A and B are shown apart, each in its own frame.
Chain A
């Protein structure tokens, strides 16, 4: 994904309407996808996305460029989403720390036919993703979006680095397994 240019961010911070709209247009799909990973329901994801952009325009002045803008933005989205879920009665730990899944200790194999039809693949992967715990979905979403590094994902999710690595590794395995592409072939 395209990290917004520093010039665009600066203009948006200064209240330039055109820059602000451009920033929203560039980021809305990514923010919505993160929100969807967290909330699971489209309407909740849409509400969270809107809330995130409203919040963004209040706090964008505090962005100092110490991290990538998108990392900072996703952290804002995740924190807002966790607040929403907390108000609904579940703790953050219930989402990000305690969830575990059973995954086969196998190498994920991808059938070339699987990726021949990207639309169908996307639908199948999304269905499989929906069965994963929130932490895995979020970690995978952040990992694949703009190739966030493990450290950045750990920063966004406020989780230990090793936890993030484990979430991504196990999430990939679980997805491969649920997509029916796994093969019990261990490394020699």
Chain B
């Protein structure tokens, strides 16, 4: 293994690479140049790791502390759980519709005979001779009232009689 190959492998390995990232410990042990190179890489890594972590400003920490956990949601279900949940909802909805329909039919079954009797009674009442009589009385009273209203209007709109002084 050449030094160039060793350094390329070392760089490619990234973190998790220990002193022997790619089975090249032998080269490292026998190459002072690469040993020094690795030491310099680690010094650079150390400097970068120190510099790249920036402390959040105190003002930001205060803002973050105000974020309530109330937004937190429980873990969402898996896909199979969602399917099961949906199927359950469908069954419940269908059941509710069925129960509602049965209840409605039952109520209508109770109400309908009474409602039919009431409609028949209304028809009989309307067909009775007394209804015609009362209709005639009502129309006569209406006509009389209209006549009275017209007469009152005529009287109110008549011009007043001339006074005696106006005749001279």
Residue pair B50, A122 in contact (C-beta under 8 Å): yes
Residue pair A110, B43 in contact (C-beta under 8 Å): yes
Sort chain B's interface into a size bin.
Answer: 35 or more
The residues of B that contact A126 with a CB separation of less than 8 Å are: 51, 54
Interface string of B71-104 (1 = CB under 8 A from A): 1111110000000000000000000000000000
8 Å CB contacts to B: which residues of A32-77? 32-33, 36-37, 42, 46, 49-50, 53-54, 57-62
Residue pair B69, A110 in contact (C-beta under 8 Å): no
Contact partner of B64 (CB less than 8 A), chosen from A50, A59, A148, is A50
Residue pair B7, A176 in contact (C-beta under 8 Å): no
Residue pair B14, A58 in contact (C-beta under 8 Å): no
A115 in the interface (beta carbon within 8 A): yes
The residues of B that contact A122 with a CB separation of less than 8 Å are: 47, 50-51
Residue pair B71, A57 in contact (C-beta under 8 Å): yes
Contact partner of B37 (CB less than 8 A), chosen from A14, A114, A187, is A187
Main secondary structure of the interface of B (DSSP, over half): helix
Interface string of A147-188 (1 = CB under 8 A from B): 111100000000000000100110010011001010000011
B142 in the interface (beta carbon within 8 A): no
Interface string of B35-75 (1 = CB under 8 A from A): 00100110111111111111111011101110111111111
The residues of A that contact B48 with a CB separation of less than 8 Å are: 125, 140, 144, 172, 175
Residue pair A14, B14 in contact (C-beta under 8 Å): no
Given A16-B69, A54-B67, A129-B52, check contact A46 B46 (CB 8 Å): no
The residues of A that contact B51 with a CB separation of less than 8 Å are: 121-126, 129
Give the Cβ gap from B85 to chain A, nearest Cβ, in Å: 15
Residue pair A30, B53 in contact (C-beta under 8 Å): yes
The residues of A that contact B43 with a CB separation of less than 8 Å are: 110, 112, 114-115
B165 in the interface (beta carbon within 8 A): no
B26 in the interface (beta carbon within 8 A): no
The residues of A that contact B54 with a CB separation of less than 8 Å are: 29, 32-33, 36, 126
A104 in the interface (beta carbon within 8 A): no
> 6 nearest interchain CB pairs?
A125-B51, A110-B43, A20-B69, A147-B15, A61-B73, A32-B56
The residues of B that contact A110 with a CB separation of less than 8 Å are: 40, 43-44, 47
B11 in the interface (beta carbon within 8 A): yes
Interface string of B1-31 (1 = CB under 8 A from A): 0111011000110111000000000000000
